[in-house]
Chains A and B, each alone.
Chain A
Amino acid sequence: MSLIVNGTAVPAPADARVSLLDHLRETLHLTGTKKGCNQGACGACTVLVEGERILSCLALAVQYDGRQVTTVEGLAQDGALHPLQAAFVEHDGFQCGYCTPGQICSAIGMAAEAQRGVPSYLSDDLSADTTLTRAEIQERMSGNLCRCGAYNGIIDAIQATIAPKVPA
């Protein structure tokens, strides 16, 4: 059994109790993915599985046999930060930086959801195209807590980069 993490095949754990989050952090030493609550309440552990955002603390590593997992460590291309990562620095979308990897992965997954036309609580017409307005982004990012309160900067960073591309 193996998972593909940031493009590299890695073994799945022998102990079936190991969450994807703990597997990333403790076995693979990919500590960019953070643990804030271990119970699905904070979003700090968000990673992308084939482009979809999931909470890795609520996922067992063995469930992801053969699947492509992307963590914050896998977003940079050729040594250059992903545009959203760079925008987080530019717009000061963090203070302590602990929620940040989760916010960034979540935002990328969120933009893809919007692109696919997945509606939100704010959508008036469930079948219409989604435009990522400020309020739409806020609603769709509300599963990612930031106790430092960097919310304004996070939305600014998303609006400055990936949001304008939705709808494509």
Chain B
Amino acid sequence: MSIVDTAKQAAQGLLQSAMEKLVPLAPDSWIPGGVPDPLIARKHGLIGKPVSRLDGALKVSGGAHFSAEHRFDGMVYASLAYSTIARGRIVAIDSAEAQAAPGVVLVMTHHNAPRMAAPALFGSSPTAVGASDLPILQDDRIHWNGQPVACILAETQEQADHAVSLLRVTYAPEPATTTLEGAKANGIEPGVFMGGPLENTIGDAEGAFASAAHKVDHTYRTPRHNHNPIEPHAATLAWIGDELVIHDASQMVSQQAQTIGEVFGLKPEQVHLTSPYVGGGFGSKGLWDHQIIAAAAARLSGRPVRIALSREGVYRIVGGRTLTEQRVAIGACADGTFQALIHTGLTVITPHNAMPEPFILGTQSAYAAPNLLLKVEATRMDLLTNTFMRAPGEAVGTFALESAIDEMAVELGIDPVELRIRNEPEKDPTSGLPFSSRHIVEAWRQGAARFGWDQRSPVPGARQEGEWRTGMGCATGTYPYYRMPGAEARITLTRDGDTVRAKVEVAAAEMGMGTATTTAIVAAERLGLPIEAIEVGYGDSAIPGAIMAGGSQQTAAIGAAVIAAHTALVDELLALAGNDSPLAGLSADEVGSDEGGLAKLDEPGRRESYASILARAQRDSVTATKAGSAPLELMHWSMHSYSAVFCEVRVNAVTGETRVSRVLGAFDCGRILNPKTATSQFRGGIIMGLGMALMEETMVDDRSGRIMNPSLAEYHLPVHLDVPEIDVIWTDIADPHTPMGAHGIGEIGITGVAAAVANAVYNATGKRVRDLPITLDRLI
């Protein structure tokens, strides 16, 4: 790093800390969202109405092309060989037989792979999205069991797969840390997440806990998880001239193109990455070794390449959620008010990444307690790098916290819903910021009434019919509102006679969240056009800006960018309108879009249609591109999505089998933009939570560091019969400080669910399970 870079960083650091001090104190009106988005007040139109997915017909008829479904002329197929040791080096690779096998075009190992830079580690710059910063096929070092050691290209997939089986790789193993105990013995370090320490200390939590009248203090454990999108990771790519064209499956289209470009020393415009359809991601559809290996092999062979990972391949090279060991200790008065809340523990990372599972994030703003101690520590194992998975931190953190709350409710003899409401904070307990919009108590009340919570006996095991014991449990879910900088929107109005259509382009990703549809709904309202006149462009790195489908922030990021681009568009249109227009002399903040044109806000009769403005100016189209405002609102308010989750389980007294019979999620997530797709997001998250509660675990062999269940047959996911009808309701109270009044909804669904299940299991059986998943053996 040069002196200039260091100075720049120092200046940025100073600016950042000055902002952190000043932004909370600034008047609301200076902050994005300080003046409510006008769309919040608009009650007619499509926002809030159930709209079917615009790409629905394409998807149900098999016409949507996913990454492994594109083709190039002369394309060859890739197959990977994976290391069978956890750490050490490659002594030799005998590839003679593989080279000679029918159809083989290339055998690529560290000996002949082109020289490439290591990918930039996620977060090391605004566009860096490498899951680890290990070099790929550049040397003989092995860092995890499953690391790619060779890539074979052949004319068909069958030929490539067969040739891989003919490779003979000899290793010199070295001692590897593959047990948790071994890792702990090597050392424990503070957890650092996105540049900040994972630690909050307020008051004297241990002291207050020691002297509290009522206490609970337990350790909760969550295992490793895999995302398991049903579409395995794949890319189809080609070098066309100096350009690398990649059809990928990506939740971070532009950032991924940029990071790949840097690996190959390319200019940003030399990588064109498209990803319009992604077959599920949940945090996993990012940059891993396979895209880089395939691009290198394509360059070396001069042939376009399809790399479609096998399901086992996904487990070998695409990391999942890491394990946690969490202590939650609560000290309370007899009336239930918390005096001390301690949430600390350990998570596992690797020597080559920096993603400690931040399980205290939800606890930071959950409950009022005068004394708080929250801390994540990390230890390192020689394994495949772990990564973000749906609600990183909150999904497993709420299991521990919300189980402990339930244990405290039992200790105090207070209803667990009531106990939570009694500890509702007035302002954010760790940051001290006011909440932008928090109506969790309404969610609790509405949810409890609808679920029939009053039918629950506080006495465990009180309901038994035949072999089956029934119990009810509940938990709070929470996930922060984020809006990342960098999003841009490009709006193009095109006139054809009297009709005007709009194209709205955002570098966003659509993995099934309904983003394309919701963006069209919002754009139609924003521009005053019917939804049929809107086309949404996304999933293409050629679109300006960078947006990530992560952190449940995409809708907010797009929303703010479209607000900015719309304002720029109105400016352009007013300039084009000129002096002969009824709008002459008005400025952009005096007019709004309505019914196919612009109108003066306080005098709607003074208006002109887009078609008329463009016609007079003799223009067929007008374009505006603009980035969203800096997300200062995040430093000014404490902003979160919330849920109250209720669950009923039946547990078999003989076999220990747990069946989930009812689930209700009551959500407080701002205004719901499209109830149809939102319901699916909530339910999908809840179902992943049921899997986490009852069956999901990535098992690692302690001796070899190798994942033992790398298949959908051995890693169990919830299937149709495991999932009851899931009731979903929401407060629908708009947050006055966010675009459209909306909050993110992609990750909140999974949070709290595992605790609600565990608490219901306790209510059914009297057995408290503190280690996930709650399998049969833990109940008999």
Binding site for B on A (CB under 8 A): 15, 17-18, 22, 25-26, 29-42, 44, 71-73, 75-76, 81, 85-86, 88-90, 92, 94-101, 104, 134-135, 137-139, 141-155
Contact = CB atoms under 8 A, between A and B. Distances in A.
A34 B230 contact: yes
Contacts of B310: 38
Point out which of B162, B677, B720 has the most chain A C-beta atoms below 10 A from its C-beta: B720
Point out which of B64, B676, B721 has the most chain A C-beta atoms below 10 A from its C-beta: B721
Contacts of A137: 720
Nearest to B715: A41
A96 B726 CA distance: 19
B60 A89 contact: yes
A10 to B, nearest CB: 16
B62 A73 contact: yes
B230 A94 contact: no
A152 B683 contact: yes
**7 nearest interchain CB pairs?**
A32-B62, A95-B512, A98-B279, A97-B59, A96-B512, A149-B687, A149-B684
B684 A15 contact: no
A137 B725 CA distance: 13
B61 A141 contact: no
Interface in B673-698: 676-677, 679-681, 683-688
A164 B403 CA distance: 42
A150 to B, nearest CB: 6
Contacts of B68: 31, 35
Interface in B490-519: 511-514
Interface string B708-749: 000111000111111101100000000000000000000000
Contacts of B232: 35-37
A93 B711 CA distance: 25
Contacts of B311: 36-39, 41
Given A29-B71, A98-B280, A153-B680, A148 B61 contact: no
A92 B679 contact: yes
Contacts of A71: 62
Contact of B711 (A31, A37, A138): A37
A149 B512 CA distance: 11
Contact of A42 (B230, B282, B511, B685): B230
Contact of B720 (A35, A37, A81, A139): A139
B219 interface: no
B157 interface: yes
Nearest to B102: A15
Contact of B685 (A101, A138, A149): A149
B158 A81 contact: no
Contacts of A142: 719-722
B53 interface: yes
Contacts of A17: 158, 162
Given A33-B62, A36-B230, A153-B680, 12 more contacts: A37-B713, A73-B63, A95-B684, A96-B280, A101-B62, A104-B60, A138-B723, A142-B719, A147-B282, A148-B280, A149-B686, A150-B684
A150 B60 CA distance: 13
Contacts of B723: 138, 149, 151-152
Given A37-B311, A95-B280, A89 B231 contact: no
Contact of A96 (B156, B231, B717): B231
B229 A147 contact: yes
